[in-house]
Amino acid sequence: MRVCPKCGYLEPEEWKPTTWKSAQFIDCIRVCELQRIDAKLFHAIETVSPADYVAEEHYAYKISRTRIWILRRWKPIYLVQGWKDIPAEKAKKPTVLPNQTRLLEVEKHE
């Protein structure tokens, strides 16, 4: 549950952070709970497919493939990386061209 330090707005306690490690900065709520607390938002999300999303002023929302959960992500983060995780770097082998010699091979010849 979050509270705004400026105005004191208390977010509904039904919105919870996701528990799976791969989803960073994504909150979730059960469909039935969102239907109870914000029917207008629920109807907007329900009409789109699981591949699409609904954007509001501060958040982007989407329904899960199982249609049990509604996911939300802060809009500035969503605009940068969508629903994906923070990209991780991958190790890449250096490419050696056929006419290129490595430093160790040069030292051996001297």
In sequence order, the 6+-apart residues with CB closer than 8 A to the CB of 46 are 31, 63
In sequence order, the 6+-apart residues with CB closer than 8 A to the CB of 50 are 62, 63, 64, 65, 67
What's the CA angle centered on 20, arms 90 and 26, to 5 degrees? Answer: 90
Residue 87: pLDDT band (50, 70, 90) is: low
Asked whether residue 102 carries a pLDDT value surpassing 60, the answer given is yes
Asked whether residue 67 carries a pLDDT value surpassing 60, the answer given is yes
pTM of the predicted structure, to 2 decimals:
0.69
- Asked whether the CA dihedral 39, 42, 48, 52 is positive or negative, the reply is positive
Least confident of 4-18, 29-43, 47-61, 87-101: 87-101
